[in-house]
Amino acid sequence: MKNTEGSSEAKRRAGEHAADLVDDGDVVGLGTGSTAAHAIRALGRAVDSGLDVRGIPTSFQSRQLALDAGIPLTSLDAVDGVDIAIDGADQVAERNDGGFDLVKGGGAAHAREKIVDAAAERFVVVADPSKLVDPLDYPVPVEVLPDARPTVAGTVRALGGEPTLRAAAHKDGPVVTDNGNVVLDCDFGPIEDPATLASELAALPGVVEQGLFVGLADAVHVGSADGVEVRGE
Q: Which stretch binds ligand R5P (CB under 6 A): 105-113, 142-150, 177-185, 219-227?
A: 105-113
Distance of alpha carbon 158 from alpha carbon 209, whole angstroms? 19
Starting at the earlier edge strand, list the strands of the sheet with 82-87. 54-57, 27-30, 82-87, 120-127, 219-223, 228-232
Is 160 annotated as contributing to ligand binding? no
3-state secondary structure of 184: strand
Count other C-beta atoms under 10 Å from residue 163's C-beta: 24
Interface with ligand R5P (CB under 6 A), residue from 69, 84, 86, 108:
108
114-173 residues near ligand R5P, rule: CB under 6 A: none
Q: Which stretch binds ligand R5P (CB under 6 A): 42-50, 66-74, 100-108, 166-174?
A: 100-108
Spell out the alpha helix ranges (H) of 91-220: 110-119, 149-158, 194-202
Question: C-beta of 129: minimal distance to ligand R5P in Å?
Answer: 12
Beta-carbon contacts of 1 under 8 Å, excluding residues fewer than 6 positions away, are: 106, 139, 141, 166, 185
Distance of alpha carbon 70 from alpha carbon 54, whole angstroms? 10
Interface with ligand R5P (CB under 6 A), residue from 113, 117, 143, 178:
113
Q: Which of 16, 94, 113, 143 is catalytic?
A: 113
Is 104 annotated as contributing to ligand binding? yes
113 classed as catalytic: yes
- The residues carrying an active-site annotation are 113
Q: Which residues make up the interface to ligand R5P (CB under 6 A)?
A: 2-3, 31-36, 87-90, 104-110, 113
User: Which residues does the annotation place in the binding site for substrate?
Assistant: 32-35, 87-90, 104-107, 131
